[in-house]
Amino acid sequence: MTQTSDVKAVDLLAQSYKDMRQEIAKIIVGQDQVVEDVLISLFANGHSLLVGVPGLAKTLLVSTISEVLDLDFKRIQFTPDLMPSDITGSEILDENRKFTFNKGPIFANIVLADEINRTPPKTQAALLESMQERSVTVSGKQYHLPKPFFVLATQNPIEQEGTYPLPEAQLDRFMFNITLDYPSLEEEIHIVKETTGNKQVALKHILTGEQILDYQKLVRKIPVPDNVLTYAVKLATSTRPNTDHSPDLVNKYLGWGAGPRASQYLILGAKCRAAVNGKYSPDIEDVQAVAQNVLRHRIVRNYKAEAEGVTEDDIILQLM
């Protein structure tokens, strides 16, 4: 970092991040890596897709983060009969016989799109503009969403009946695809002990919306060494089959690779991970730490990979 003020700002971000982790840990037991990943995507001004079985506290995690950050939180339960207007809002006729816009739940700082793949593509598409443009258009009028704005969507990897796969355009809007696993035995004992009594926990507000916006701008200003930038771009381009940069592994198992947005998110994620850990510039290790979250939903396996049980994570780990 070149300016003293920016160096101090990174130090403040790292300290705020530690304080947030301590507050979140009062409610959320374990899931340390998931918490880190969600916060990194938030400070990088990106959206996240959480994939995990029911009962892993995905909703509780999001609501806890919103409370620690003193942000407005809304939850949308995606169902087959959900309409786009149920997300964005609609115009209604008031008592003066004039149309007024009634805002939907998308008008919040943090929006939890619960079980997003249970609703038809038409309704899923209602999120596209809001996630990319930070606005919605109803009856030809554009309405800007509050800042900061962060979508965290969940989907169940087991129950496939009655679900609609997310289209690639929708998936690409998510900076991270984060997988949740079951807690360890010790963590589950702690969870049961903490959640089956009448213990009440009061959380402190660590950051305001304005502070988050300042930190998002700060992350953009963090310099990246040329070798780290080159590594991130080469990693993304190596996932594209039948090109000059693709190894035999990719040509054998992938039908489609990651686009340029993956390179951008690899660098943004690495910058943010470095900053929250008190570093003033990212290194290759920071890129590798966010690579699976950035790439796993941007590469498409072919039939050979599925038949041989080769996963997206297997391929990404070998590429790194």
**Cβ atoms 7, 178 nearer than 8 A:** no
Residue in this structure with the two tokens 């009634």, named with its chain if needed: 102
Q: What is the mean pLDDT of residues 103-110?
A: 88
Question: What residue segments make up the domains of the chain, in order of their start?
Answer: 1-221, 224-320
Residue in this structure with the two tokens 């340029």, named with its chain if needed: 260
**Cβ atoms 256, 172 nearer than 8 A:** no
Segments of 139-261 assigned E as strands: 141-144, 150-155, 174-179, 254-256
- Whether the pLDDT of residue 191 is over 90: the answer is no
Please report the pLDDT score of residue 58 as a whole number: 78
**For residue 247, cis peptide bond before it (omega within 30 degrees of 0):** no
The string of DSSP letters for 2-49 reads -SHHHHHHHHHHHHHHHHHHHHHTTT--S-HHHHHHHHHHHHTT-EEE
Pairing of strands 141-144, 135-138: antiparallel
Mean residue pLDDT across the chain: 85
Q: How many other CB atoms are found less than 10 A from the CB of residue 45?
A: 21
Q: Which two tokens stand for residue 109?
A: 């700082």
Q: What is the mean pLDDT of residues 272-299?
A: 92
**Lowest-confidence region among 17-26, 195-204, 248-257:** 195-204
- Whether the pLDDT of residue 157 is over 70: the answer is no
The string of DSSP letters for 262-286 reads HHHHHHHHHHHHHHHTT-SS--HHH
C-alpha–C-alpha distance, residues 52 and 154, integer Å: 8
C-alpha–C-alpha distance, residues 88 and 261, integer Å: 26
Q: Answer with the residue of higher pLDDT: 195 or 36.
A: 36
Helix (H) or strand (E) holding 235: helix 226-237
Crossing angle of helices 260-276 and 284-295, in 10° steps, is 130
Q: CATH number of 1-221: 3.40.50.2300, 3.40.50.1360, 3.40.50.300, 3.30.420.40?
A: 3.40.50.300
Q: How many other CB atoms are found less than 10 A from the CB of residue 233?
A: 17
CA quadruple 22, 76, 50, 264: dihedral sign: negative
Q: Answer with the residue of higher pLDDT: 290 or 129.
A: 290
In eight-state DSSP terms, residue 116 is G
pLDDT tens column, 30-70: 788 888 999 999 999 999 998 877 777 778 888 888 888 88
Give percent above pLDDT 70 in the chain. 96
Crossing angle of helices 32-43 and 4-24, in 10° steps, is 140
* Per-residue 3-state assignment (H helix, E strand, C coil) for 120-131: CHHHHCHHHHHH
Please report the pLDDT score of residue 273 as a whole number: 93
C-alpha–C-alpha distance, residues 98 and 303, integer Å: 56
The CATH T-level fold of domain 224-320 is Helicase, Ruva Protein; domain 3 (1.10.8)
